[in-house]
């Protein structure tokens, strides 16, 4: 994640598919090509500047430069101050019909220096289909997505004020493991999912526990054993855009469920160990 806005040249090295100028040859006549570069320029005009980008690997060589890609953007104002949590817009698209254009709301933790936290349980991704596209769709998507920022701040503050017991932390990790792994064949060391990687993550409030689990799931380092081969393993970072988005969405939704249960009980949630 860059500390300064990225130029097109820098973005091109990270995800060349952003700058593809035509759709994949096999698309239908109803498919309207939407230039990601054009959308990016519109977002820049509205003060949202790119700080990172990714693209999926392809299996078919002729789909290279048409695959799904993702751009992380921050508002101009976020570069002028160091806040603990920086709001982001997450733009994703493809040029091979594998995905429509979507705009999501996210958060970047300054303490973490990497990783994207998605808030899809707060608001669903705003989709812009490759059919009948017009520029006002982009402005509407930005406006509607940004309107959820106050609610996201409120949600984070709620998480910070919810304390979890060790039993609850472990229960969170166990359910999160089923999102990340095939738990029917893998024995997961759930404590490794809760590992503290930096001083700022020390604590048992829901926000810190969520972030430790989310980072472990996406960035790797989780230990376990394969029941079939009886071999130990340590998970690696996830490279797929879709997998990262899926895990981020599911974990934020899971944290919401825990927050709702805690709000109802106002007591430590005694889940099975």
- The pLDDT tens digits of the residues spanning 114-137 come to 555 665 566 667 777 656 666 777
Going by their DSSP bridges, the two strands 101-109 and 117-118 should be labelled as: antiparallel
Residue 11 CA, distance from chain mean position: 19
- The pLDDT tens digits of the residues spanning 166-176 come to 999 999 999 99
Contacts of 105 (CB under 8 A, 6+ apart): 87, 88, 89, 90, 118, 119, 122, 123, 145, 146, 148, 149, 152
- The rounded distance, in Å, linking the Cα atoms of 20 and 39 is 13
269, pLDDT greater than 70: no
Tell me which residue of 141, 100, 90 sits closest to 244, measured CA to CA. 90
Domain boundaries, the chain: 8-148, 161-265
Query: Are the beta carbons of 57 and 239 closer than 8 angstroms?
Result: yes
Q: What is the dihedral of CA 214, 239, 56, 86, to 10 degrees?
A: 40
- The pLDDT tens digits of the residues spanning 16-66 come to 999 988 877 777 666 677 889 989 999 999 999 999 999 988 888 887 888
């Amino acid at each position: 994640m860059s500390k300064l806005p990225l130029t097109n040249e820098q973005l091109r090295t990270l995800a060349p598919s952003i700058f593809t100028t035509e759709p994949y040859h096999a698309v239908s006549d109803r498919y309207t090509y939407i230039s990601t570069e054009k959308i990016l320029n519109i977002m820049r005009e509205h003060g949202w500047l790119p700080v990172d980008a990714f693209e999926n690997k392809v299996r078919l060589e002729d789909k290279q430069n048409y695959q799904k890609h993702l751009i992380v953007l921050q508002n101009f104002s976020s570069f002028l101050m160091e806040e603990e949590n920086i709001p982001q817009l997450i733009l994703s698209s493809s040029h091979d019909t594998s995905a429509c254009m979507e705009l999501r709301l996210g958060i970047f933790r300054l303490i973490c220096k990497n990783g994207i936290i998605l808030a899809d349980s707060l608001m669903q991704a705003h989709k812009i289909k490759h059919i009948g596209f017009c520029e006002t769709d982009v402005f509407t998507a930005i406006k509607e997505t940004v309107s959820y920022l106050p609610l996201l701040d409120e949600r984070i503050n709620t998480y910070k004020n919810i304390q979890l017991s060790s039993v609850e932390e472990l229960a969170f990790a166990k359910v999160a493991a089923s999102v990340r792994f095939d738990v029917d064949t893998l024995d997961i060391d759930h404590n490794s999912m809760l590992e503290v990687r930096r001083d700022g993550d020390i604590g048992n409030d829901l926000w810190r526990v969520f972030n430790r689990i989310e980072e472990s799931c996406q960035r790797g380092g989780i230990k376990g054993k394969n029941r079939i081969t009886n071999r130990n393993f340590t998970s690696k970072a996830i490279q797929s855009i879709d997998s990262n988005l899926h895990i981020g969405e599911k974990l934020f939704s899971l944290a919401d469920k825990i927050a709702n249960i805690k709000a109802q009980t106002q007591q430590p949630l005694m889940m099975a160990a």
